[in-house]
Chains A and B, each alone.
Chain A
Amino acid sequence: MILSASGIEKRFGAVVAASGIAVEIAAGARVSLIGSNGAGKTTFVNMITGYLKPDAGRIVFDGRDITALAPREITRLGVARSFQIPQLCTGLTVLDNMLVADACRRNRLSFREAAHRPTALQRADALLARFGLKQHRVRKVAELPGGVRKLLDIAMALTGEPRLLLLDEPTSGVSAEEKFPMMEIIMAALGAAKTTVLFVEHDMDIVERYAERVLAFYAGRIIADGSPAAALASDDVRRYVTGTLRQ
């Protein structure tokens, strides 16, 4: 088990964002987190990545208790995340963004190593190629369309070969016909790597196609946990998430 959470509680005033969350994720798993807005998916992701601290409970990553750690420390342990609204350095070029990711994730910050040295450029270009972003290499992020920015955001997260990757709505903000190609690119870029992937997703077609396991959230609880077919067929999920249960 690469990630396990137990007894997670989180409230924001009267809003219950997490209640009794307990889950174990195996290494290499491809898990989708589904649920309507406010159900607690992003809160869960935020707690894993250290942006929020749970009120109670423990999160253990690869044998280490990461519950109280800062985002930076959790990242250094091998956890990476992408953002629903891409968090990029808009004034810098695509390449420079990748180089920043490279330098930070490898924890190799120095005044003597040139940012644009050949080894770093190779790594950055290789990853850009896997995401089909190489042609945008020298363009400023501010000039790029939304879909490209999302891919860059994810490419940056993948820099440094994280063992756990959390994708926050990777296909949101992307047009319908681009969603599948985007997921194809992401999955291809992940390739044969044993990266464990958790992705928050609203599009059930994407979920069915790319997830091996589904965790459904509602009001801070996990209401379903299983294969996509099983989870999406469950009454609770149909009632509270997909809205397909007829009363």
Chain B
Amino acid sequence: MGFATRAPAAIGLLLTALLLGAGCLMPKWLTFLITMAASHGLVSLGIVLLMRGGVVSFGQGLVFAAGGYAAALAFAQLGITDALGLTLIGGAVATLLAAPFAPLLARYRGIFFAMLTLALSMVAYGALVKVSALGGSDGFNMGRATLFGQKLPDAQVGYVLYSVTVVMSALLAIAARRCFDSTRGLVTLAVRENELRVEYLGGSVREAMAINFMLAAFVGGAGGALTVMSLGHIDPNFSYWTTSGEFVFVAILAGWQSVLAVFVASLVLEMVRSFSSLYFPNTWQLALGLFLLFVIRFLPRGIGSLWFRDKP
């Protein structure tokens, strides 16, 4: 059993405490990197949840963008500035958006599931690009969030948003682990293996898949909100298929067993992205592509399989 499954809450809180402590000592570019890794990792976490049910979503950009735009708009139009509140709003709006599609998507598998999720995210992209009130293809900037009513001064905003992101990610990660280990989580794995049997045992495959889709939307939306707050900017590219592709890359790299692996993989991506664009601007996609091929060929269960021994 992966060590984190024995006491996910304890491990998660310990890691969070470590990260929060280390964050005080880190240079700003590193805290920003980790913030992005965590907020993006949440979207990939949703993809992993769906992968456990046997489907790969190529359109999580949709919920990522939904959460991001929701948070940015809530900030600009509704005056809601609290970072935690915005995160929850991002998650909630994305879930609401996903809800009508969930029962529909629950009936698709394989290529068609991938293509339908892709199409939906591109519809959103196409729509967002043309809505000038939202800044069109340039998007718009978002102001600085607050926390518990406190404004965040320049020197501290990076660390505070880092902390909010790390804490929220940790909470959602612990919840995800609980979810994976629950009866619903096990049935999700069973659906991936043999849907017929699950139906004949009295389980509803469609219900399982629809619920998973909405949960993935929630974490994806929360990730979108957290990203926007730290980035200070949102644009339709959040919903573009290449963005979705990167989230899928991380999910594949991580594998479907370990929650921690998702965030490690996300961190790897962010690091490769940062260092490559600094030193080798024309080769970072090449590196990603080769990396992905390597993982698919030699580590088909992702890096999580390296430390996740199967359950006793």
A-to-B contact residues, CB < 8 Å: 49, 70-72, 75-76, 80-81, 87-93, 96-97, 99-101, 103-105, 107-116, 120, 138, 140, 156, 159-160
Contact A76 B202 (CB under 8 A): yes
CB<8 Å pairs between A and B, sample of 13:
A72-B200, A88-B197, A89-B193, A89-B197, A100-B189, A103-B184, A104-B201, A111-B185, A112-B178, A112-B182, A116-B181, A138-B312, A156-B197
Does B179 belong to the interface (CB within 8 Å)? yes
A91 to B311, CA, bound (A): 12
Contact B183 A110 (CB under 8 A): yes
Shortest C-beta distance, A69 to chain B (Å), equals 12
Chain B hits for A104, CB < 8 A: 187, 198, 201-203
A70 to B198, CA, bound (A): 13
Q: Which residue of B lies closest to A70 (CB)?
A: B199
- Encoded as 1 (CB less than 8 Å from any A CB) or 0, chain B from 183 to 215 comes to 111110110111011111111100010000000
A75→B189 contact, CB < 8 A: no
Is there contact, CB below 8 Å, between A93 and B193? Answer: no
Chain A residues near B196: list those with CB within 8 A: 87
Given contacts A103-B186, A108-B183, A114-B182, whether A93 and B197 have CB atoms under 8 Å apart is no
A113 touches B182 (CB 8 A): yes
* List of A residues within 8 angstroms of B182 by Cβ: 110-115
Please measure, in the bound complex, the distance between the C-alpha atom of A159 and the C-alpha atom of B310, giving whole angstroms.
24
**What would 19 more interface pairs be, CB under 8 Å, given A72-B204, A104-B201, A111-B185?**
A49-B200, A72-B202, A75-B199, A87-B194, A87-B196, A87-B200, A89-B197, A100-B189, A104-B187, A109-B184, A109-B208, A111-B184, A113-B182, A114-B178, A114-B181, A114-B183, A115-B182, A138-B312, A140-B310
Chain A contacts of B312 at CB under 8 A? 138
- In the bound assembly, the distance between CA atoms of A120 and B182 in angstroms comes to 12
Chain B residues whose C-beta falls within 8 Å of the C-beta of A96 in the assembled complex: 186, 189-190, 311
CB distance from A80 to the nearest CB of B (A): 8
Bound complex: CA of A49 vs CA of B202, how far in Å? 11
Q: Which residues of A contact B184 (CB under 8 A)?
A: 103, 109-111
> Could you tell me the distance between the alpha carbons of A111 and B208 in the complex, rounded to whole angstroms?
11
In the bound complex, what is the Cα–Cα distance between A116 and B187 (angstroms)?
12
A203 CA to B182 CA, complexed, in Å? 42
Is A100 a contact of B198 with CB atoms below 8 Å? Answer: yes
List the B residue with the shortest CB-CB distance to A120: B183
